[in-house]
Structure 1
């Protein structure tokens, strides 16, 4: 699967939504193809899935932050039955369950030091997500390259991005795309 074209829809920035009330901004934004939902609960999820799919955008729900869905195989099966096609999680066992349901999965990794890089690579290599998202996005180039070399999948970045320069620097270091809740960063024109 060509993750960057299918999920990110060829865009360099994905919209992170912490509150469902902010969904309409991402749906209307022409630069946004992927929407990362970091919050909400199982009761609102069917309407969110329906809205995002109707606008031909891709919804990735951060399972670890979704209320009301079991963080287990049965919970992921329920989400798949609701029409959810993509998950983000820090938990390797949930990556495995979501892949079994045919979902696209991003494993989120927190990069704190050399050991967290090694552990993240080991976890992701074992469960084979479609992409990894590293936090923060401001890490050194050699870490990004080490992950790409070891995993052979796209590396996304999130966290600690405040300016257009921050986004461009992260991309220049090798990150394939970023996710951010800062709406002014959704406006960056990469065609220049």
Structure 2
């Protein structure tokens, strides 16, 4: 009976993993990070990009961006910590959900919690600088239970990625310090499920 329960738990966790990787990432290993409104069109047109991560700008441009992304049948996730004009509270999350934002990225646990309550996709960003920060990151994410975590930098050692995935059983994205195609392939080879990058030539990497 115990073995059956373990197998069932594994299947449930894999189902949640696949839901984020399928619905948000579109089964792509590349997410486009953009900082300006002007960058949106290129990300929308790119055949390898399904998820677009907005890392700047202000709330006044969001309605137009949301409309374009939805028309393209892609996903827009807003880094709520970096976009100006959005209240960093429950009301701010409620507002952007009503505007049509599909998901958020944040480093803040309270915003991740509010976003989940609003029914948004939630990616919790974790900065990994040493062993203690890994323990803290895992503890925080275990409490919030986001749909995925994003580790920075993406070049962290393989054993750290494995420890995070074993503890959280969530998709792990990687961002930062990736410059070449070989960097991306090495990162994915370590076990990271997908990377986010603003470098256009990396959007073309075939994996």
Normalising to structure 1: TM-score of the pair? 0.98
Q: Distance in 2 between matches of 1:170 and 1:18?
A: 23
Count of residues in Structure 1 that have an aligned counterpart in Structure 2: 190
What SS does the corresponding residue of 2:59 show, helix, strand or coil? Answer: coil
Gaps of 5+ in 1: none
- Give the aligned partner of residue 129 of structure 1: 146
Matched, 1:154 2:161: no
What SS does the corresponding residue of 1:60 show, helix, strand or coil? Answer: strand
> What's the RMSD between the two structures over aligned residues?
0.6
Residue 78 (structure 1) aligned to one of 95, 108, 130: 95
- Give the aligned partner of residue 26 of structure 1: 43
Gaps of 5+ in 2: 1-15
Higher helix share: 2
Normalising to structure 2: TM-score of the pair? 0.91
Spell out structure 1 runs of 4+ moving beyond 4 A.
none
Q: Distance in 1 between matches of 2:129 and 2:205?
A: 28
Residue 115 (structure 2) aligned to one of 98, 102, 105: 98
Provide, for residues 138-184 of structure 1, a one-character-per-residue CA deviation record: whole Å limited to 9, x for no partner: 00001001110110100000000000000000000000000000000
Write the mapping of 1:1-192 to structure 2, written as runs, cut at 5 A. Answer: 1=16, 2-190=19-207
Q: Distance in 2 between matches of 1:189 and 1:125?
A: 32
Deviation at 1:20, TM superposition (A): 1.1
What SS does the corresponding residue of 1:174 show, helix, strand or coil? Answer: coil
